[in-house]
Structure 1
Amino acid sequence: MSAPGKSAPTVSTYDWSASTLGNPATWPQPLRIAAELMFNTPLPMLLLWGPQSILLCNEAYGALAGPAYGRVPGGSQPAVMPPPLQAGQEGAARAWRGEAVQMPAVTLHFGAASQGQYDLHFTPLLNDGAVAGLLCALAPASAAEAAPAAAEEIGTLSVLVVEDNLDSQYLVCEMLKAFGYEADGVAHPDDALARLAAQRYHVLFTDVSLPGMSGVDLAREAMRLYPHLKVIFASGYGDMLLKHLDFPYQSLQKPYELDQLQNALNQVGNQLRAGA
């Protein structure tokens, strides 16, 4: 997590002129969104893109791998696949086929004196409906063992993501799953109400600007029907459209950082545990 007042790395932080990918302005939107998420995530992460298997990583992975990896953040075809992709070949292959995969407690060797066990989370990245790349996130294996104890009282936090940008919706859902939440995504408010009627969720995470019905009106109707819900808004308009609401909510200003969403969900979890 970034310290208060410190800007997190973004795609524009780095000079890509010498990389295979070139100017980020020409990158496909799913690649750009995934890279921004990766650079702003505290967990070590790798991103593999395209038929050339162009490799990127964030600074957390660079610090873990050390000189064995090379220059962060990459952007070229690697001569040798890094340890998570070597040890997690099966998971990576399944991700290339379109499946989100978790491989628990995988032993990784970053050199003769550096090794450890990590949970590997592979997420396929879609471009025009086809898998064009994958994300690999590394979490300490012990974190998976600690998670059930932290969630015993309320179970795993379940989130309904309402976002009409399908690429953003997909990436947010997969990242939430990688961090241990249950997440489903829909693009239209009518579909959101249908999901809420069919399944119990803890959190409604909705964009304010949606087709057919605003996220504010969706949340108001959802709270009328399901008053247990916690609401988090994502808005590009600040809090201007959220004034005078008669129910509690949190809001994130677009473009929000992933750790801001995690903080909001941690607050929800604390509230639910206190209520239980």
Structure 2
Amino acid sequence: MNSPAAVIPSIPDWSTTALGDSASWPASLRLTVDILLNSPQAMLLMWGPEQIMVYNEAYAALAGLPSLRAPGGKVPSMQPAAWSWNSAALAPAREGRSVSYRGVSLPLWRDGSIEQQRLDLYYTPIPDAGGASVAGILCTLAMARPAALPDSDTPLRMLVVEDNADARYLVCETLRALGHEVESVASGEEALPLLAQHAFEVLFTDVSLPGMSGVDLARHARKQAPQLALLFASGYGDELTRHLEFPSQSLQKPYDIEQLQAMLEQIAAQVRGS
């Protein structure tokens, strides 16, 4: 079988733009532009006090303006919506701190007219040659994460059990963004007292936990609350949860937001009896 051919992008002639010959660029600008042009995610860079605009094909397609031709490299005649939507939005980035905004409604050009589109915006400061100050800001744009469940007035009450702190933080923030009420702990031993004290509807636990496993935790939890819905996350498929003596659902790691949301919609329908 033949390997797919590598696609090598053409190198723009930056000498014809406001940025000038790339040989004179600081390393931070060169690296940022290389990442931007090679990324499938929509990215927009504003560089220098003149606010020179550089962007990739994905951003041009997202913005929808027929006149936009990547990679840019000019001072815009009008500020892009990613910059002009909120005058205070870029303050943290100008101070050297990354910042993100979720579900921002921006005007985009679609089929000859302007439409509002919800986007997630991520701003990253780019240092100057000496690293002492911010010379540019990179904005990454993504379609807004899935909206909360339709029955958002009655979110699922969930307990998340995950021993990896980063993974625990990520899944909890995702669940909250989807409209649910979430508490979390790092072990089964910590989970059992909470399950006894609170009326959770869903236990979302990793299968492989230090000490008490997620499966053993689920067995104890079901004895305390037989109506509790069980959702497992496992890096080993459903091998450990396929033949359990109680009903459960499982997600294979790594899973995406759409898979998680679809699973929770099923669980919500079962819990609410709809």
Q: With structure 1 as the length reference, what TM-score do the two structures score?
A: 0.56
* Corresponding letter in the other structure for 2:151: A
Q: Partner of 2:265 in structure 1? A: 266
Tell me if the contact between 2:152 and 2:179 (Cα under 8 Å) persists in the aligned partners: no
Tell me if the contact between 1:234 and 1:251 (Cα under 8 Å) persists in the aligned partners: yes
Quote the Cα distance in structure 1 between the aligned partners of 2:222 and 2:44: 38
Quote the Cα distance in structure 2 between the aligned partners of 1:210 and 1:23: 41
Residues 81-230 of structure 1 correspond to what in structure 2 (within 5 A)?
83-84=81-82, 86-87=84-85, 107-110=105-108, 115-117=114-116, 139=144, 150-151=151-152, 155-230=154-229
Tell me if the contact between 1:188 and 1:211 (Cα under 8 Å) persists in the aligned partners: yes
Quote the Cα distance in structure 1 between the aligned partners of 2:228 and 2:32: 43
Q: 1:185-227: CA deviations, max 9, x gaps?
A: 3222222223323432221111101111101011111111122
**Cα distance change, pair 64–98 in 1 and its aligned pair in 2 (3 A):** closer
Q: Secondary structure at the match of 2:261?
A: helix
Q: Partner of 2:31 in structure 1? A: 20
Q: 1:75-94: CA deviations, max 9, x gaps?
A: xxxx8896356425657778
Deviation at 1:250, TM superposition (A): 0.7
Q: Which has the larger radius of gyration?
A: 2
Deviation at 1:22, TM superposition (A): 11
**Cα distance change, pair 116–162 in 1 and its aligned pair in 2 (3 A):** farther
Q: Partner of 2:14 in structure 1? A: none
Deviation at 1:183, TM superposition (A): 2.6
Q: Secondary structure at the match of 1:233?
A: strand
Quote the Cα distance in structure 2 between the aligned partners of 1:46 and 1:186: 36
* Corresponding letter in the other structure for 1:20: L
Tell me if the contact between 2:156 and 2:268 (Cα under 8 Å) persists in the aligned partners: yes
Q: Partner of 2:244 in structure 1? A: 245
Task: Note the residue ranges of structure 1 that are not aligned, 5 or more in a row.
Answer: 1-13, 25-34, 49-54, 72-78, 125-132
Q: Secondary structure at the match of 2:31?
A: coil
Residues 35-46 of structure 1 correspond to what in structure 2 (within 5 A)?
none
Task: Note the residue ranges of structure 2 that are not aligned, 5 or more in a row.
Answer: 1-6, 12-29, 46-53, 124-137
Q: 1:110-159: CA deviations, max 9, x gaps?
A: 359654445666899xxxxxxxx99976549xx97xx686345xx11232
Question: Which structure has the highest helix share of the two?
Answer: 1
Q: With structure 2 as the length reference, what TM-score do the two structures score?
A: 0.57
Quote the Cα distance in structure 1 between the aligned partners of 2:64 and 2:173: 27
Q: Secondary structure at the match of 2:169?
A: helix
Quote the Cα distance in structure 2 between the aligned partners of 1:256 and 1:94: 32
Q: Which moved more, 1:258-267 or 1:175-184?
A: 175-184
Q: 1:227-264: CA deviations, max 9, x gaps?
A: 22111111112222224312100111122222211111
Quote the Cα distance in structure 2 between the aligned partners of 1:157 and 1:228: 13
Q: Secondary structure at the match of 2:236?
A: coil
Q: Partner of 1:52 in structure 2? A: none
Deviation at 1:177, TM superposition (A): 1.8
Tell me if the contact between 2:163 and 2:185 (Cα under 8 Å) persists in the aligned partners: yes
Q: 1:41-65: CA deviations, max 9, x gaps?
A: xxx99899xxxxxx999x7x87543
Equivalent residue pairs, number:
218
Quote the Cα distance in structure 2 between the aligned partners of 1:215 and 1:241: 10
**Cα distance change, pair 168–246 in 1 and its aligned pair in 2 (3 A):** same
**Cα distance change, pair 91–120 in 1 and its aligned pair in 2 (3 A):** farther
Quote the Cα distance in structure 2 between the aligned partners of 1:274 and 1:63: 43
Identical counterparts, % of pairs: 42
